[in-house]
Structure 1
Amino acid sequence: MSFNALYTDLSDYYDLMCADINYYQQSASINRLHTLFGQGGTRHLDLACGTGPHVKHFSDFLYQSSGLDINQPMLDIATLRCPHAQFSLQDMCHFSTEDHFDLITCFLYSIHYSGNTQRLQACIRSTHAALSTGGVFCFNAVDKDKIDNFSFVKHSVQKGEDLFTFASKWHYKGKGDTQTLDVHIEKTNTRETQYWQDSHPMVAIGFEELTQLLAPYFNVQMFEHDYDKILPWDGKSGNAIFACVKI
């Protein structure tokens, strides 16, 4: 079992794993939130940008979009996808930029890749420092106290003669500030079947604690995890979208 093969050695498979994600819908929804809560401006930075699909859509929305990621193989693919965007190999918890941004995003629960509460606090501080006055930080998160260790998502994708099956799930041991995102990959063709298993260390945090960490730096708004409609968080669901305006 590895903890990072999907983003390095298996990076060519990453977009297949995410084939069922509606990147346009997610990007358009956060664009709407930025319009509602931001001060205008089109300078955009995507944290943990991966292979760059969100950067591509924000560029199409006429943002000056850029991204950073800690894995160079992912950035190599992102550069091919978005040749006019700027990408940086940096840790999102300790990044620095010469520019200030009007919008910073972190999609696909990637804020949890902070790994622990201390590093999450560093990510919040780095993001606050990189935003312009009134800039907006948008991300999605999962509440550790609402995680079902037996729930998982699974889908299959055909590529040429190969059938790929991807499955992933959260696992929280019930205490502490760490959890894992467990990813299983199966590749099958007429000759063989191959398996890979990744277990990604993630920060585990409740929404109340997360809001408290954000409060010294941002005015925080929480919304239901629905990219079709902008709905206030119901106070019960374990997934939410955060729109945070720099104080």
Structure 2
Amino acid sequence: MTDTILYSDLSAYYDLMCADIDYLAQSNTAHRLQHIFGNQGKNLLDLGCGTGPHIRHFIDLGYHCQGLDLNQAMLDIAQRRCPEAQFSRQNMCDFTISESVDVISCFLYSIHYSGSIDNLKSCILSAYKALKPDGMLCFNAVDKNKIDNNSFTRHSAEQDGSQFIFSSRWYYCGKGEQQYLKLSIQKTTQNTQQLWQDEHTMVAVSFAELQNLLSPYFEVHIFEHDYEKLLPWNGQSGNALFVCTKQ
């Protein structure tokens, strides 16, 4: 089953799959960072917006929002959730917008969906071109050299009489520019089980490599992956928040 088919088929369950994510905390953190490192503007673009939960919170914070994603089923849900926003089906590695924005966000490690270093470079350049002077690019990332292939996350949820178990983990073989996001979704309805398993090709990059890719265009700040308090990255943890101000 391909990536697009899985996400299209399960778009109605996507919010359940991400039920343990604190979208409000992430959006509030980006808002705070925009006041510290950005230009304080209120025009925002969310890359890989999915069903639009981040955009909903940004709108409530007073932002004028756009979102883009490759999956139309996700975008349809996002448009219903955020009728005030504008959405477009585009690849974040090669996108265009009619007017530049003040903030570009890309959470849930979606920057890795670039898939390759060349595509990641194109994504960074597209974001740079789309930002106003002193605009801010904010995203989270995982360092390929710090991935534990045996570590995984799992949570359960219930919807319309069905029980779901969602699990995911990163996998990196130790060389090359591709890592993988492995997903498993189990649905049980009246003792009948359905199981989806998929593997998404993601770009593998170290934080040092990522900073080198960003530095020609941005002033780069790296923080611990903590949405409650802003702490400089300690150089050891494998997840981090990147805050990039357009030069």
TM range (shorter): over 0.9
Separation (CA, whole Å) in 2 of partners of 1:69 and 1:4: 11
Which residue of structure 2 lines up, in the alignment, with residue 151 of structure 1? 151
Q: 1:3, CA displacement in angstroms? A: 2.7
Corresponding residue number in structure 1 for 2:139: 139
Any conservation in 2 of the 1:157–1:164 contact (CA below 8 Å)? yes
Q: Distance in 1 between matches of 2:40 and 2:92?
A: 24
Aligned twin of 2:180: 180
Partners of 1:149 and 1:2 in 2: CA distance: 22
Aligned length: 247
Q: Which residue in the other structure is 1:82 paired with?
A: 82
**SS of equivalent residue, structure 2 residue 35:** helix
Task: Give me the whole-angstrom Cα distance separating, in 1, the residues matched to 2:44 and 2:3.
Answer: 29
| Cα distance in 1 between the residues matched to 2:195 and 2:136 | 40
Contact 1:116 1:178 in 2 (8 A): yes
Q: TM-score, normalised by structure 1?
A: 0.98
In structure 1, what is the Cα distance between the partners aligned to 2:97 and 2:86?
Answer: 12
Runs of 4+ with deviation above 3 angstroms: none
% identical aligned pairs: 56
Shift of 1:5: 3.4
The residue aligned with 1:97 is: 97
Q: Which residue of 2 aligns with 1:69?
A: 69
Aligned position for 1:48: 48
Query: Is there any run of 5+ residues in structure 2 with no aligned partner, and where?
Result: none
Tell me the TM-score normalised to structure 2 length: 0.98
2:4, 2:71 within 8 Å by CA — same for their partners in 1? no
Instruction: Give the equivalent residue in structure 2 for 1:7.
Output: 7
Name the counterpart of 2:121.
121
> In the alignment, is the contact (CA less than 8 A) between 1:140 and 1:225 conserved in 2?
yes
* Paired residue type of 2:110: S
Aligned-residue offset at 1:75:
0.2
**What is the CA deviation profile of residues 109-138 of structure 1, one whole-angstrom value per residue up to 9, with x for unaligned ones?**
000000010000000000000000000000
- The 3-state SS of whatever aligns with 1:151 is coil
CA contact (8 A) 1:4 1:200 kept: no
Change (3 A) 1:164 1:51: same
Aligned partner of residue 244 in structure 2, secondary structure: strand
8 Å Cα contact 1:6/1:14 also seen in 2: no
Counterpart residue number, 1:57: 57
Equivalent residue number for residue 189 of structure 2: 189
CA contact (8 A) 2:221 2:243 kept: yes
Q: Residues of 1 paired with 2:225 and 2:202: CA distance? A: 19
DSSP-derived class of the 1:4 partner: helix
Q: CA RMSD in A?
A: 0.8
Measure the CA separation in 2 of the matches of 1:177 and 1:94.
19
SS in 1 for 2:198: strand
User: Residues of 2 paired with 1:223 and 1:62: CA distance?
Assistant: 25
Residues 66-89 of structure 1, C-alpha deviations (whole Å, 9 max, x = no match): 100011110000000001100011
For residue 232 of structure 1, what is the aligned residue in structure 2? 232
Partner of 1:205: 205
Distance (whole Å) between structure 2 residues aligned to residue 242 and residue 117 of structure 1 = 17
- 1:79-116 CA-partner distances (Å, limit 9, x unpaired): 00001100011000000111111000000000000001
Please give the alpha-carbon distance, in whole angstroms, between the structure 2 residues aligned to 1:21 and 1:96: 29
Aligned match of 2:26: 26
Distance 2:14 2:243 in 1: 27
Question: What do residues 189-214 of structure 1 show as CA deviations (whole Å, max 9, x unaligned)?
Answer: 22410000111110000000000000
Deviation at 1:20, TM superposition (A): 1.2
Query: How far has the Cα of 1:2 moved from its partner?
Result: 3.3
Question: Any stretches of 5+ residues in structure 1 without a counterpart?
Answer: none
The offset of 1:59, in angstroms, is: 0.3
